Amino acid sequence: MISKNVIHQIVEKATMIRERVLDMTSKAKSGHPGGSLSMADIVATLYFHWLKVDPKNPALESRDYFVLAKGHAVPALYAALAEKGFFPLEYLEKLRQLGSPLQGHPVKKSLPGIEMSTGSLGQGLSVMVGMGLALKLDKKENRIYGILGDGECQEGQVWEAAMAASHYKLDNLVIFVDKNGLQIDGPTKQVMNVDPLADKWAAFGWEVISIDGHNVLEIVGALEKSENVKGKPTVIMAQTVKGKGVSFMEHQICFHGSPCTDEQLVVAKKELLATKGNLL
Amino acid sequence: MTEMAAPRDYYGKALVELGKKNENVVVLDADLSSSTRTSMFAKAYPERFFNIGIAEQNLIGIAAGLANLGKVVFASSFAMFISGRAWDQVRNSVVYPKLNVKIAATHAGITVGEDGATHQALEDIAIMRVLPSLNVLVPADAIEAFQMIKYAAATPGPFYIRMSRGATPLVFKDSDYIFELGKSKILVEGKDVAIIASGIMVDVALKAAAELKKENIAATVVNLSSIKPIDVETIVKVAKATGCVVSAEEHSVYAGVGSAVAEVLALNYPVPMEMVAVQGVFGESGKPEELLDKHNLNVNGILEKVRKVVARK
């Protein structure tokens, strides 16, 4: 059983990721804060509790692999990698700037810890399937983790990959669907309904675990459960809130692809600071 | 009697040979393994063969993932589907991250024949050669195809290798033939015109050159098999030596081999040029020979363009 102390630390990291996401995107005057905030607790749990990764040795032979299929939410990943020590925190100031390794969407080899280029939605899961197959061929125990968006599940390729992962019995593959229910043009239910999403994954032969994607205890529990799943891949359906953690950003589509204004940033950071205070 | 062979048969043979030498070689197909000949590898090394089903986008994505963890990946389907259906995946999941995926596309061009236009890729060279740093190759015959496959396997980075369906005359009789990336081989030298051909049109160009002799036109014939990187030096050299160029390809006239040659000439040494290619139309059902004749991808088609270009000098 995970200790309260550990949970506390993860939540603290999640808050830190949120702060940095807001700082980075506001400084860049560009980027996707909404979907970064919705997956912040998942990313924090993965990088500060779960994933076997070593910032001092990013190429560690026995590492777990993480692929961010919803590549637009990369500010949260950059923040986690920097905080973890994969690269200096100052790099975060260069998000989306000319010549920066912190591209608008992740680029393989541009930074230590970025395992794959993503951005064109729907492609990440296929790549994870290929990586899972490679590990099986080599009889390696490393595991593949990834995060998809719920809107992303509108891409047909996701289901091609879902079919293949199940066909090839990839029990070394665990993905989260960050189900924040909003996409650029509106609520996912209105734009193109993907529900019942959990049923769809189950029908494709996946182990489905549904959780509150902001409850660290549930995130850890789902990850622990996924380790015992044999002969099939696992999807963790994480119910989330877009813009989570900042009151005026929550459930707001406008923050999908636009950062806070300077004035909003001040308010947002005060709120996050209060969250931090509550943790102390 | 000229010896004939289909490039895809030699592709299958090359894969089996590679599979024996290198256990990191894996092969993927999208339910066309018997046609693309990846079935030969599947039979020899079933544990390293993955049938992805009828899902070309996923085929390319999975290929990228395997390559991401160090595998040498060959991914095959018909040229139409693997270039067209999966272009975004080729661009963003393979070429942009520079992954070691070799896309071996078969059944390119109108010589697919009876299946008709939906299966006849006439645009794939155009949409593949535009991708930064993707090597784009078109073998002139089965022997060159065999060499290219081995070359690609030994060379890090993404490749697109385009093969036609049918058995064609062997251009390279010598099994010692060595393929070199970015090099074009001059097969015949003549001073009046340079015919720069690719794929199945190389053999046709050689036959046209023999016919042209009767008209006292001495033709150079170049096998342009490395479309990208392209051999600027040889193209400029033959243009200088002959003063005019005819390109010949089993592809659309737009943005294909002829256009690649024209780009080189326009920037380096402009000379009159004519193109033998499909004139921006779709193919249709028919026998391969009938289709080639209909679209003037034959000896007469080349002769006509040569006469025209020589007159323009």
Name the minimum distance, in Å, from the CA of B177 to any CA of chain A.
Answer: 34
Residue whose pair of structure tokens reads 């896309």 in the numeric block? B103
Pick the catalytic residue from B3, B23, B47, B56.
B56
**Nearest Cα residue to B288 out of B200, B207, B221:** B200
Which of A107, A128, A138 minimises the CB distance to B65?
A128
pLDDT (average), residues B240-261? 98
* Angle at which helices B7-21 and B142-154 cross, to 10°: 30
Residue whose pair of structure tokens reads 């049923």 in the numeric block? A199
Which DSSP category does B121 fall into? B
Which of A117, A128, A160 minimises the CB distance to B57?
A160
Best to test chain A binding among B25, B51, B93 (most A CBs inside 10 Å): B93
Does residue A55 have a cis bond before it (omega within 30 degrees)?
no
B89 vs A163: CB contact, 8 Å cut-off?
no
CB atoms near residue A1 (< 10 Å) = 8
pLDDT tens profile A76-131 = 999 999 999 999 999 999 999 999 999 999 999 999 999 999 999 999 999 999 99
Interface of B with A in 19-48 (CB under 8 A): 26, 47-48
CA distance B279 to B254: 8
**Nearest Cα residue to A133 out of B26, B32, B53, B20:** B26
Task: Tell me the torsion sign for CA atoms A5, A7, A8, A9.
Answer: positive
Q: What are phi and psi of B22, to 5 degrees?
A: -135, 110
Which of B53, B67, B88 minimises the CB distance to A120?
B88
Question: Is B180 assigned a catalytic role?
Answer: no
Query: B1: pLDDT confidence band, cut at 50, 70 and 90?
Result: low
Q: What is the rounded (10 degree) CA torsion for A38, A43, A44, A47?
A: 180
Contact B11, B104 (CB under 8 A): yes
Interface of A with B in 151-190 (CB under 8 A): 156-157, 160-161, 163-164, 167-168
Share of chain B above pLDDT 70, in %: 99
Name the minimum distance, in Å, from the CA of B307 to any CA of chain A.
Answer: 49
Which of B48, B52, B88 minimises the CB distance to A164?
B52
Q: Residue A120 is encoded by which pair of tokens?
A: 């064109």
A142 → chain B, closest CA residue:
B69
CA distance B293 to B287: 10
* Angle at which helices A4-28 and A216-226 cross, to 10°: 110
pLDDT (average), residues B222-248? 98
Q: Is the pLDDT reported for residue B176 higher than 90?
A: no
Per DSSP bridges, beta strands B159-162 and B101-106 are: parallel
Which of A120, A134, A157 minimises the CB distance to B65?
A134
CA distance A57 to A67: 18
State the span(s) of chain B assigned CATH 3.40.50.920: 185-312
Interior angle at CA A28, CA A22 and CA A34, nearest 5: 40
Q: Is A136 on the interface with B (CB under 8 A)?
A: no
A134 vs B47: CB contact, 8 Å cut-off?
no
Contact B291, B119 (CB under 8 A): no
pLDDT (average), residues B32-60? 98
pLDDT (average), residues B299-308? 98
B97 vs A109: CB contact, 8 Å cut-off?
yes
pLDDT given at position A275? 86
Q: Is B58 on the interface with A (CB under 8 A)?
A: yes
**Verdict on whether the full-model pTM lies above 0.80:** yes
pLDDT given at position A280? 60
CA distance A150 to A193: 10
Give the strands of the sheet with B135-137, arranged side by side. Answer: B49-51, B25-29, B72-78, B101-106, B159-162, B135-137, B226-228
Query: B177: pLDDT confidence band, cut at 50, 70 and 90?
Result: confident
Tens digit of pLDDT per residue, chain A (280 long)? Answer: 789 999 999 999 999 999 999 999 999 999 999 999 999 999 999 999 999 999 999 999 999 999 999 999 999 999 999 999 999 999 999 999 999 999 999 999 999 999 999 999 999 999 999 999 999 999 999 999 999 999 999 999 999 999 999 999 999 999 999 999 999 999 999 999 999 999 999 999 999 999 999 999 999 999 999 999 999 999 999 999 999 999 999 999 999 999 999 999 999 999 999 987 776 6
Contact B103, B159 (CB under 8 A): yes
Contact A118, A124 (CB under 8 A): yes
Residue B176, Cβ density class (10 Å: 0-12 exposed, 13-18 middle, ≥19 buried): exposed
Interface of B with A in 91-130 (CB under 8 A): 91-93, 96-97
A134 vs B57: CB contact, 8 Å cut-off?
no
A134 → chain B, closest CA residue:
B66
Domain that holds residue A76: 4-279
Helix (H, G, I), strand (E, B) or coil at A74: helix
Contacts of B64 in chain A (CB under 8 A): 116, 126-127, 130
A238 contacts: CB under 8 Å, gap ≥ 6? A39, A42, A176, A177, A178, A179, A211, A212, A213, A219
CATH architecture of B4-169: 3-Layer(aba) Sandwich (3.40)
A161 contacts: CB under 8 Å, gap ≥ 6? A125, A126, A128, A129, B58, B61, B62
The helix (run of H) or strand (run of E) holding residue B40 is helix B39-44
Residue type, position B89, single letter: Q
A155 → chain B, closest CA residue:
B57
CB atoms near residue B109 (< 10 Å) = 33
Q: How many CA atoms lie within 13 A of A99 on its CB side?
A: 0
Contacts of B96 in chain A (CB under 8 A): 107, 117
Annotate A231-245 with b (16+ C-beta within 10 A) or e (fewer).
Answer: ebbbbbbbbbbbbbb
Q: How many domains does chain A have?
A: 1
Helix (H, G, I), strand (E, B) or coil at B100: coil
Mean residue pLDDT of chain B comes to 97
pLDDT given at position B56? 98
Contact B223, B97 (CB under 8 A): no
Name the minimum distance, in Å, from the CA of B244 to any CA of chain A.
Answer: 44
Domain at A186, CATH number = 3.40.50.970
pLDDT given at position A156? 98
**Nearest Cα residue to B64 out of B22, B92, B23:** B92
B55 vs A164: CB contact, 8 Å cut-off?
yes
CB pairs under 8 A between A and B: 106
Assigned CATH class of B185-312: alpha beta
Partners of residue A272 on adjacent β-strands:
none
Name the minimum distance, in Å, from the CA of A211 to any CA of chain B.
Answer: 28
Residue A5, Cβ density class (10 Å: 0-12 exposed, 13-18 middle, ≥19 buried): exposed
pLDDT given at position A157? 98
Interface of A with B in 50-109 (CB under 8 A): 65, 107-109
A164 → chain B, closest CA residue:
B52
**Nearest Cα residue to B128 out of B9, B256, B6:** B256
Q: Residue B60 is encoded by which pair of tokens?
A: 């390319």
Q: How many CA atoms lie within 13 A of B104 on its CB side?
A: 35
